[in-house]
Structure 1
Amino acid sequence: MNLSDNPWQAVEAIEVPRARATRPLRVKLYALLLSLDLLCIVGAFVGGALLRFGTVPGDGWAGVTASVAALFVLAALSTGAYSLEVLRRPSRGTARAVGSVLLAFALLFLLFYFLKVDQRLSRIMTGASFLFALTGLAVVRQLAGDTIQRIHRGRYTTELLLSDGVRIEAQDGMTQLDAAELGIRPDARDASMLLKVAELFQGVDRVVISCPRNAASRWAQMLKGASVQGEILTKDYDHLGPIGIAQVGDHTTLVVSAGPLNVRQRAAKRAFDLALTVPVLVLLAPVLALVAAAIKLDSRGPILFKQRRVGYGNALFEIHKFRTMAAAQADTYGNVSTRRNDPRVTRVGGFLRRTSIDELPQLFNVLLGSMSIVGPRPHALGSLAGEQLFWHIDERYWHRHVLKPGITGLAQVKGLRGATHTREDLTSRLQADLQYIAGWSLWRDISIVARTVRVLVHPQAY
């Protein structure tokens, strides 16, 4: 009897290796994060009660704590606070947990205050508990996320690379198998093949098939019913750098570019910019006036230096800085990077550059919308790394402009500042910019602003 006539016999006759499933690990990590979150909430209410009463009341507070915990869990589940994405990006998990606790307390205040469900609840205790929960969740989530990532090194899923005539090097953590060695071929009409594939893919999260183009459609049919994330790897379009697929009518298109932020994220980033910029400009108004007077007294020329730079969407915009060079020697096109002991820099200008005070007028760029507080630093079109223009060194240079340029950025807080003397100076900064874009979150912006304070005075700033 032909094996294809008896698929069960075919499966029993051939032992098919399987990658060890790691789905239970993810579930355990989600449970760990949930437990830590709930402990933070309970601990926050205990701390609030001790602060208000000096002891934990016998009744009342437990019900409130349970209500907040339940509301928090519902909010956290709806926002994806326990997901593979937050395991891979701890800062995103922290932001979602903090957002969930904000929503939970907002609902609590609505129920207990505006609807007057219970007037016996202490406002001081509740307010203190809210602050404790917010702070505790932010700290514990970030520490737990970083620790999990360090221990497991991002391996939370089972991924399989199945080669069928086209071999490539598997990424670290992937299991690589050869279809021919396993006796597997893409034939959806052969029930024994379908059962072998099902056995092979059991417990696997992601399957990548590397095959020639003429076998791609057959493998696609095998994958569609396998209940896994199935992907076909083909080298035909690697040079286009596709990031996804879409459709025009009945035709499939390759997506090769997309804005990194959706409307909600752009609105949140803009709100953060304005919330920080407006009060800072008001507070620093006397400082700006004193600096303007010092520049005017030190040398002849305008107070502000204006230069066209590459900004959002690869369009040009006019950046504002305090003038730090003699007006006649200012480099309008940015062809010559400032160097140590540069004779073009004025006495006041040297101090302004070393302390980064010369960057303050860029707050007006942020206010007008051409810049952001955090983002890739904008460069002049004529900027050079050694003897080459930036985009001649790496074509990915233009990719950094999918976000608005920033006053500070990930590259700056990593210490990547000053002149670009070599190709490595440019590529290291570009890599930091692309890393920031790929992992953007509001929490990361706040973190970069906080870290910027430590590098305002920097040995590479001159």
Structure 2
Amino acid sequence: MPKKKLDHNFTLDAVRSFKDERGSAFNAQISPLARQIATQYRHDTMSPVMVIGVVRILEFSLLVLSGIGLWLTYVGWEAGQLWYYGPLILACSATSVVLLEIAGNYQLARLQQPLLAFGTCLLVWTSALAAMAAIGFFLKISIEFSRVWAASWFAAGLIGMLAFRSIVARLVRRWARNGRMERRAVIIGGGSQAEALIRSIERQPFNDIRICGFFDDRDDTRSPPIIAGYPKLGSVAQLIEFARIARIDMLIVSLPFTAEKRVLSLLKKLWVLPVDIRLSAHSNQLRFRPRSYSFIGSVPMLDIFDRPINDWDSVVKRSCDVVFSLLGIVLFAPVMLATAVAIKLDSKGPILFKQTRHGFNNEPIDVYKFRSMYVEQCDPSAKNAVTKNDPRVTRVGRFIRKTSIDELPQFFNVLMGHLSLVGPRPHAVAGQTRNLLYHEVVDGYFARHRVKPGVTGWAQVNGWRGEIDNDEKIRIRTEFDLYYIENWSLWLDLKILFLTPIRLLNSENAY
């Protein structure tokens, strides 16, 4: 199976295979101070990328609506004229947004200073309309357009953009002040190098980075407990627990490039988290090409890991989840009703079975299925996996498990946002093989929780469903899950959805 490589010789294989002598980092307890700070950052923030994207859409809509409104008001509705005015309005509005993007007018700094953007808006809007007028002249269709309408739209569009940007500026500044729109970062590593990095980030104008603190494995003699006003919150092992509580967006590793062994040791622990991981290049003498870096203001960073399925990708995926889950509920409503009646007639007890499983970022979620076992023998912890001819399974249960009908109530989990339609299958928190929990068997197991779990997944359509009775099965499933996360696309999700009913015909491993 192909692996996605990282820049600068850091690969997923290298991170996974590096041996960490200090053992697992997933049981480290954080200090009361770290827990208090993490609790302050429990809630999600508004992504600057998403805010900027919405501003683009709204500004485009504003120009289009003002053009259409003036056309209907002054020219009046004529179906024949629509083929002239419609394309012109759309093309001119889209051209303006593209030119504003090229001019950098959708950067946060510009959005917070609308008066400084006035000249650019005037130039762009004038250029877009002039270009459309020139095209109309050469195509000999300019006579079809009202000059009064064009002049009115020019004035209305310019005034609308300035008013809109003034409102956006006030909102962005307010959101930045109260912490609703920010990127939360944790520094890894202490000492003078981390202090210089923090000072450089804080000096950036219109900075959207909020530093929550820093973590370092070294003691206080080598790494002071407070750097640049920020507290040391614990060791790198404790950072895992911190990031499970706080909604962190970015981890910035402040270590020299030459400390390759130590960097790999850190990444071995941290790559399982659903965050961006950056290696600071601020104090390093070694320089790569500019395109190799991402930047916080003017502070260069090397991208090691990106949070998967983020920003607009998450919007697209969530939209598909809502649409397809509603469709699934409607289509399978008769099947679910018949199954509920059959379960009730077959054995006493509730129709649904609730089980706690690992969700996104290791958070526990309750997953609902049709009950397929005798109520007094149900195993909510899934400590004992269902095996072939398991006496705990009812007659109806055997059929609905083999056909995966027992999974249909999970459409409601998807609709509530606990699951996605496609993703790594959520395992019970006590799931195990050979009396070992899954994360004790598979190194990097928790990395599969960097995205929301799914009703079906890449492992399932490749034949890996049903009982997990040996270490190899959970290792292979985890590899398929990680491949899905590292190679996610909307087309991959659609492919998995298409293949799922076909693969369900093979029920050999479903008991």
Could you state the TM-score of these two structures normalised by the residue count of structure 1?
Answer: 0.48
Could you state the TM-score of these two structures normalised by the residue count of structure 2?
Answer: 0.44
Higher RCO structure, 1 or 2 (CA under 8 Å, sep 6+): 2
